[in-house]
Structure 1
């Protein structure tokens, strides 16, 4: 255990934490058989994850504000904490400080995900577009109508030269669709062409209902520009159905962004799905990390207002993703029922049945993520036979078995120690052993003891 104290002196005393812990005790504490209670949470400089009375409150309590001010003074983004509170009021409080090798959990007070390989991302963010040798432009493409409509809409626009268009293609490494070339021959969409005449600049920098960018700002959607996290996206899978217009990707060198609506990006698609058209127009939602939505079959349709929608090429069900056990209506009863050559992600939830064997998973070619609640595995050492895992989430006892046997899969890029209902000290100790195997920075923890007495 490492105890490093950043300049947060007020948070290294037990008393300032008392109001936060009392709030949590009044909410949804975990009560142990011996009458002790466990609470946990995360507080960051701009947000918090606390199960308060009435649920996840959007109003910031004064106790949380005090912690946030201390974090801001110390230049620390957030602190995760847990507390064991005895019936006598005797309390052990554990503070876990940010670690560059830990990706914080989203929406939970858990420790987070251990990033064992620096810079690694889940497989969907490494997925390249499938070839589309038979893709053709939509029948609605009409270059003459498009140019005539654009010139009527922007009679005073200044067009780009052929040399400027060729330079953009060379920079992007693609041949722009003819429709997009027509657009930029009509207007090069440069605001600086109009000085202080903002009305003219706005009028000559639009494509349908979207603000267009100039040629120098055209860019492709790189997966790294979209948010990804192992805790959520490592448990997701991307599948492009046979009739999908858009491939279910985080990004593609063929998604050429030419504008936005102020938040989302609008792009022409040179790598469409099997049901799409070359040069179709898609929307890349800034609030989503995977996939894109069809807006129009062609740029011509976009300018003429003939837009339509098709759900993004994304699928989160069998056979790529499966859950075994638990009490949900859609859960499978056995691991064997989930075993399928296309299975990528398997979650095993605690239920009333006996622990599961992982033997049916051996040899599955695409299995990359396994998560299992504590106590759900008949033999954790069977994990050693799953040679393609990149993300593994287990309880501390299951990790202990693998660590003691030297059987932690070396194929992993990320891992998590399932914390809900587990002792935070044990979780941190196991997590640091895993980080040490990959020579990653260790988690720093501070332990405080105090009395959580009733308020006067």
Structure 2
């Protein structure tokens, strides 16, 4: 039996649950989720001693129990697993492990399934979008190769530069020719740590010289869509928008974005070879690590970045027209009719205090591809069958049940999500998810039952 499915692997965590959760101790079912890098388990942690903050040792039992399961996940080659646990007062424990399935993304801190991948390899629309051609785009007037090289050599006189052969090898690896300014930079310094020797200040001089933490020539990469992965539940609610005067196209990534540095906070700097209508070839953009899409302009050229430093991140994510993504809720857009327009791509219905909403105003919209609806907000879930271009659908179990029973699930879907209330029993949610997966002949979520005996709580008679 694999270690992950062995009761002894889970026994320490089950004891932690019994000791730290009143419902578990009373025999009620509890649920959680553990992945290789994080976990969410329903345990009430001990309060720290008066006058001090919580310490690791206050939660050591939980840490050790979780680590045991994370090691089993690693050994089994699984990213994560959800579970339910029911522990009888006598100590008999029934554990149900939920997953994995190659057709289901990991849940986000929840024991419920993540997005269901209904079509193998399908990507959300923004992740399929390629740069639009911009005829006549040219380098900025500030690009000056001689000035750039002179300034860099003055700032880094002892740097080891790359040879033409090394630059050619980098271009072959990337599959794109490096722009001239970037070649000038790496002919001055190839930014390899081993070139610094005992000069511990070399990296700091590079930062001061260029204005960022410079990647070595070997670490340059193309910031395309594959470099910016995102779960369907978030990615499907994004939209690519590039206003007519935008300097940067509002893309997820581009084969013409060559990442060469970091601002020290996780945001990547890239040379942009596919600018927006108001931009320049070779401009410098910044990709925020806190955003899934788009980039901001920080310099019109690498020369400008070196000479003047980065400007404030300037970005345009929307024009003056109606938004492609509409959030209908009691504080946002006041209804489906107010959100409807031909360019609408994403309709997200959140908490709503008035009468349930009809989807009739958005029927027939040519670009609507995503619908997410909070429980109880739809007047008639069967209206969804009239939305003929949906790629992603997120509904509560009750609305999914209506569609399934009527045979009205849109066959255009590429991915879907079942969104129960946070305290819902994961087992029927998994059953419902498997029913949806079966419509597309996709791999089911595996359910594994594991039983064992923890013995009575210490101090109680056996």
What is the TM-score normalised by the length of structure 2? 0.79
- Tell me how far apart the structure 1 counterparts of residues 259 and 40 of structure 2 sit (CA, whole Å): 35
Q: 1:171 to 1:70 in 2, by over 3 A?
A: closer
Q: What residue in structure 2 maps to residue 10 of structure 1? A: 8
Match of residue 69 from structure 2: 70
Correspondence for 1:295: 298
Q: Distance in 2 between matches of 1:64 and 1:189?
A: 40
Q: Secondary structure at the match of 2:68?
A: helix
Provide, for residues 67-93 of structure 1, a one-character-per-residue CA deviation record: whole Å limited to 9, x for no partner. Answer: 441342353543323468999x99986
Task: Name the residue aligned to 1:400.
Answer: 401
> Which 5+ residue runs of structure 2 have no aligned equivalent?
47-53
Match of 2:276 in 1: 273
TM-score by length of 1: 0.80
Deviation of residue 215 (structure 1)? 5.3
Structure 1 gap ranges (5+): 28-34
Taking the aligned partners of 1:353 and 1:452, their CA distance within structure 2 comes to 51
What are the equivalent positions in structure 2 for 1:168-187 lying under 5 Å apart? 176-187=178-189
DSSP-derived class of the 1:282 partner: strand
Equivalent position of 1:342 in the other structure = 343
Task: State how 1:28-427 maps to structure 2 within 5 Å.
Answer: 39-50=30-41, 60=59, 62-63=61-62, 65-73=64-72, 75=75, 76-82=78-84, 94-156=96-158, 176-187=178-189, 189=191, 194=195, 196=197, 202=203, 208-213=210-215, 218-261=220-263, 263-314=266-317, 319-325=323-329, 328-330=330-332, 332-420=333-421, 421-427=423-429
Where 2:154 maps in the other structure, the secondary structure is helix
State the Cα deviation string for residues 33-66 of structure 1 (Å, max 9, x = none).
xx997754322343113466599x9965624641
Going from structure 1 to structure 2, the CA distance change for 1:425 and 1:341 (only over 3 Å counts) comes to same
| Offset from partner CA, 1:266-286 (integer Å, 9 cap, x none) | 221122234433211122344
Over residues 164-210 of structure 1, what are the superposed CA-to-partner deviations in whole Å (9 max), with x where a residue is unaligned?
Answer: 66676676565544433433454555666x58465697599665133
In 2, are the aligned partners of 1:94 and 1:424 still within 8 Å (CA)?
no
Report the 3-state secondary structure (helix = DSSP H, G, I; strand = E; otherwise coil) of the residue aligned with 2:255.
strand
Describe the SS at the equivalent of 1:304: helix
Specify the SS of the correspondent of 1:182: helix
- Contact 2:3–2:72 (Cα < 8 Å) also in 1: no
Q: Counterpart in 1 of 2:17?
A: 20
SS in 2 for 1:346: strand
Residue 256 of structure 2 aligns to a residue in which SS? strand
**C-alpha separation between the residues in 2 aligned to 1:343 and 1:258?**
35
Q: Distance in 2 between matches of 1:239 and 1:21?
A: 51
Paired with 1:254 and 1:58, the residues of 2 have a C-alpha distance of: 48
Deviation digits for residues 101-122 of structure 1, max 9, x if unmatched?
Answer: 1111224443211111222222
SS at 2:14 equivalent: helix
| Cα RMSD for the two superposed structures | 4.2
Aligned partner of residue 401 in structure 2, secondary structure:
helix
Give the stretch that moved more between structures: 279-288 or 389-398. 279-288
Select between 148-157 and 383-392 the one with higher mean Cα deviation: 148-157
Q: Which moved more, 1:412-421 or 1:288-297?
A: 288-297
* Contact map agreement 1:46 1:68 (CA 8 A) in 2: no
- Please say if residues 372 and 395 of structure 1, whose CA atoms lie closer than 8 Å, have aligned partners that are also in contact: yes
Are the structure 2 counterparts of residues 338 and 93 from structure 1 closer, same or farther at C-alpha, using a change threshold of 3 Å? farther
Q: Find the counterpart in structure 2 of residue 30 from structure 1.
A: none
Separation (CA, whole Å) in 2 of partners of 1:5 and 1:164:
47
Residues 246 and 276 in structure 2, CA contact (< 8 A), matched pair in contact too: yes
1:423 CA drift (Å): 3.6
SS in 2 for 1:294: strand
Distance of 1:159 and 1:18 partners within structure 2: 59
Return closer, same or farther for 1:214/1:451 CA change in 2, 3 Å cut-off. closer
- Judged with a 3 Å threshold, the aligned counterparts in structure 2 of structure 1 residues 25 and 320 are, in CA distance, closer, same or farther, namely farther
Where does residue 31 of structure 1 map in the other structure?
none
The structure-2 alpha-carbon separation of the partners of 1:114 and 1:138, relative to structure 1 and needing over 3 Å to count, comes to same
Deviations 1:343-387 (A, max 9, x none): 111122353333222122111111111112233322222212212
